[in-house]
Amino acid sequence: MSKHPTQTPPGPSLVPLRGAGKGPRPVNLQAVRAYGDTLDDGQMMLSFALPVPFSEEAKEAGRELCRKMGLLEPQVYHAHDLGEGFTYLTIYARNPHTVDFTKISVPKLDARRLDRHGVEALWAEHMTRKIRILGACTGDDAHTVGIDAILNVKGYHGEKGLEAYKCFEVKNLGAQVSNDVLLQEARAFAADAILVSQVVTQKDCHRSNLAALIDLAEAEGLRAGITYVCGGPRLSHAIALELGFDAGFGAGTTPTEVASFVVQAVVRERQP
């Protein structure tokens, strides 16, 4: 699997935008601004909490923070008392900055999107034994719904999970599995692919935990020959590559997307 980012082809620098009854208006893709009420007004909404009691001073502190962030004309749209000396704020403000959309490039999965039939056909063409997939929610993380959605027969979004495929043998270790135990299980199971879920991101624990798994796998000689995939609502393919994984999947991932990547990665890994 290539770990190199693929360049998103630059689109035209001006694309028409449909405005209410006004016909197409041009968007300058080299200087895109946030959109609030009208094109190029730069308006954006931010929500955050401050550790100060609910008061007019708390609202002004929120506005001041926005000004310090370079935002203009901050207006408090909503504020409420979170209790225990905390205030929650929603602020609308104008952002004067732009981004050059034509220069944005995001790494994409190096795999074709196959349906379940395509996944099983590719497997049957190249392999005579099932692909062994080991899944877990690691570290202190107990959010198993995501990994279950991908692996369990019941699946997600109308798609069956990987357990339902005849080409996969799936072992789901569940919640709060340490990296140590995961790799011991991987060795015993002779896993072809390890699927790790990380949902909690407090203090960036998802990143440190995932990076530590790859370090340990390398130290134990278990990095080569196994496809490492991570997933969770605040993960992406770009973050996964950065942390040493082969692929990463974010919010809304469906089982077929994962099956499609895994079968191609494992088949490719086995080719000379």
Tokens 């570290």, residue located:
139
If 0-12 CB within 10 Å is exposed, 13-18 middle and 19+ buried, where does residue 188 land? Answer: exposed
Nearer to ligand B12 by C-beta: 29 or 262?
Answer: 262
C-beta of 91 vs 136, nearer to ligand B12: 136
Comparison of 27 and 109: residue with beta carbon closer to ligand B12: 109
Q: What is the 3-state secondary structure (H, E, C) of 94-162?
A: ECCCCECHHHCCCCCCCCCCCCHHHHHHHHHHHCCCCEEEEEEEECCCCCCHHHHHHHCCCCECCECCH
Three-state DSSP class for 204? Answer: helix
Per annotation, catalytic residue among 3, 154, 160, 203: 154
Residue 189: CB minimum distance to ligand B12, A:
16
By C-beta, is 74 or 255 nearer to ligand B12? 255
Residue type, 34: A
Q: 10 Å Cβ neighbour count for 221?
A: 9
Nearer to ligand B12 (CB atom), residue 88 or residue 101: 88
Antiparallel, parallel or unpaired: β 14-19 and 23-28: antiparallel
Residue (59 or 206) nearer to ligand B12, CB: 206
Give least dist CB 177 to ligand B12, A.
Answer: 12
d(CA 261, CA 272): 19
Q: How far is the CB of 157 from ligand B12 (least distance, A)?
A: 7
Q: What b/e readout covers 34-57, taking b as 16+ CB neighbours within 10 angstroms?
A: bebeeeeebbbebeeebeeebeee
Asked if residue 192 lies in contact with residue 130, where contact means CB atoms within 8 angstroms, the answer is no
Closest chain position to ligand B12 (CB): 231
Would you call 130 a catalytic residue per the annotation? no
DSSP state of 250: -
Contacts with ligand B12 by CB under 6 A lie at 140-147, 149-150, 156, 195-197, 199-202, 229-233, 249-253, 258
Q: Rounded to the nearest whole angstrom, what is the least distance from the CB of residue 101 to ligand B12 in the complex?
A: 26
Tell how far CA 199 is from the center of its chain. 10
Kindly state the smallest distance separating residue 181's Cβ from ligand B12, in Å. 16
- Rounded to the nearest 5 percent, the helix, strand and coil shares of the chain are 30, 25, 40
Give the nearest distance from C-beta 77 to ligand B12 in angstroms.
20
Angle between helices 116-126 and 255-270 (to 10 degrees): 20
Catalytic residues: 154
